[in-house]
């Protein structure tokens, strides 16, 4: 089982967040270069040497969680961009468990569950977030007008945009911008540089993978004129 750990983060509302943000990339498996081999089955999670960077206390904990933390990886990237602090993915996961962001049922892990995740953001990190449902891909631009990030539910096959997905949802990516009908996002499970960071995709193509739901977070501070 995961146990609690705490890293003190600066109050995000006391920071002057300048844009455009430089957003570091992290893989949910802690090894971006190993992603293609993990996805193809040529490398197992037991072979990932830098698993301790995940914040797992044992290799077994890392293996148990690594395929379930795409959402927390998105949060890790957002925090690194806005606060300069790199918080291990499983530390964030531990802190979210009392809120119900993930539910463990035997060997099964269910989550990320949005409403408890938003409560975790508020209570633990002093970050504003809102669950969004029944959206179109075109609606994401309006969310980014008001917030710095949007965690979007997409089919994991988004790393191969040329292949139409059998369904939507099942994976989370960090959308950072929408400009001229093109979305930009970081994908925690991208298999190469082109599909990992600052991925650009037409909104119409993104829509094929998008499940119409997600979490908008870290509101922009709008100065009065």
Q: Is 215 helix (H, G, I), strand (E, B) or coil?
A: strand
- Topology of the domain covering 17-219: Cathepsin B; Chain A (3.90.70)
Q: Is 30 helix (H, G, I), strand (E, B) or coil?
A: coil
Beta carbons within 10 angstroms of residue 195's beta carbon: 17
pLDDT attached to residue 220: 86
Q: Where are the domains of the chain?
A: 17-219
Q: Is 137 helix (H, G, I), strand (E, B) or coil?
A: helix
What is the spatial distance between Cα 192 and Cα 40, in angstroms, rounded to a whole number? 13
Q: Is the dihedral of CA 157, 160, 164, 168 positive or negative?
A: positive
Q: Which two tokens stand for residue 2?
A: 């995961």
pLDDT attached to residue 107: 82
User: Which residue shows structure tokens 């967040």?
Assistant: 17
Comparing C-alpha atoms, which of 118, 20, 37, 16 is closest to residue 71?
A: 118
Q: Cα–Cα–Cα angle for 126, 129, 132, nearest 5°?
A: 170
Phi, psi dihedrals of residue 102, rounded to the nearest 5°: -130, 150
What is the spatial distance between Cα 219 and Cα 190, in angstroms, rounded to a whole number? 26
pLDDT attached to residue 5: 42
pLDDT attached to residue 7: 54
The size of the chain, in residues, is 225
Q: Cα–Cα–Cα angle for 207, 25, 203, nearest 5°?
A: 15
Q: What are the 10-residue block averages of pLDDT along the chain, 225 residues in total? A: 47 58 95 95 95 96 97 97 94 96 90 97 94 98 96 98 95 96 97 96 98 96 47
pLDDT attached to residue 20: 73
What is the spatial distance between Cα 155 and Cα 16, in angstroms, rounded to a whole number? 34
pLDDT attached to residue 183: 97
pLDDT attached to residue 223: 41
Comparing C-alpha atoms, which of 142, 129, 100, 121 is closest to residue 214?
A: 129
* Whether this model's pTM surpasses 0.95: no
């Amino acid at each position: 089982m995961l146990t609690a750990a705490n890293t003190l983060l600066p109050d995000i509302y006391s920071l002057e967040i300048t844009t455009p943000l430089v957003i570091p990339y992290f893989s949910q498996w802690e090894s971006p270069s190993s992603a293609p081999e993990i996805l193809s089955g040529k490398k197992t999670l037991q072979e990932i040497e830098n698993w301790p960077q995940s914040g797992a206390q044992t290799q077994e904990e890392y293996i148990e969680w690594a395929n379930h933390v795409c959402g927390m990886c998105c949060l890790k990237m957002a925090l690194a961009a806005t606060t300069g602090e790199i918080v291990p993915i499983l530390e964030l996961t531990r802190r979210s468990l009392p809120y119900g962001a993930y539910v463990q049922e035997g060997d099964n892990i269910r989550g990320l569950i949005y409403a408890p995740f938003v409560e975790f953001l508020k209570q633990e990190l002093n970050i504003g977030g809102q669950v969004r449902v029944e959206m179109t891909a075109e609606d994401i631009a309006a969310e980014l007008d008001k917030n710095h990030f949007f965690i979007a539910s997409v089919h994991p096959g988004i790393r191969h945009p040329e292949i139409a997905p059998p369904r939507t949802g099942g994976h989370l990516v960090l959308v950072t911008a929408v400009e001229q009908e093109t979305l930009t996002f970081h994908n925690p499970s991208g298999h190469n540089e082109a599909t990992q960071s600052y991925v650009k995709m037409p909104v119409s193509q993104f829509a094929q993978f998008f499940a119409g739901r997600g979490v908008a977070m870290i509101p922009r501070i709008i100065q009065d004129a």
